[in-house]
Amino acid sequence: MVGANQACIFCQIVRNPSSTRLLHTDEKVIAFQDIKPAAQRHYLVIPKEHIPTVRDLQRRDEDYSLVSQMLSVGQELLLKDAPQTIHKFGFHQPPFNSVDHLHLHCFALPFVPRWKAIKYTSLGPFGGFIEAETLLEKLRPHGSLHSKVLSSSDSNLTGADVFLQQHSYPQSR
């Protein structure tokens, strides 16, 4: 495993997946239930590669693709396990993260108990919790198909062309 941290509890789960009941595994990420759930369903999706926090991510295709994949896995799990609930997805930002290994919190709301919602709230410029979609906007690479803004030279594009430009996704790492 690239960049593994011997002391990291999540790296230990990646190295020894039999120690935890995995809900999903693929070449890039794994998912499992949070050991201290704060909602009806509370899953974590982590990269297999050790990435300490959201601050270690950059505006580039690889990081955008990874976070997109993490979000997609979380959405699929909650749509399967709790389809009738409201879902919330996001990351803690330092110094509010409890484990220094990037992890996406996936919630089927409501929070239980309700006061747990405070722990998963944005504190604006002070950090706190960042919604997955907000993080993806920050990671969207400049000049890629993800951020292409139509110029006047694009005026002869069809509606289908515009849709494809706005909804194209990066390749995996």
As annotated, the active-site residues are 105
The answer to whether the CB of 67 falls within 8 A of the CB of 54 is no
Cis peptide, bond prior to residue 110, ω within 30 of zero: yes
CA-CA-CA-CA torsion sign (16, 10, 131, 70): negative
Sign of the CA dihedral with 146 first, then 150, 154, and 158 last: positive
CA 18 to the chain's CA centroid:
23
Beta strand ranges found along 96-149 (DSSP E): 104-111, 129-131
Burial 139-162 (b: 16+ CB within 10 A, else e): bbbeeeebeeeeeeeeeeeeeeee
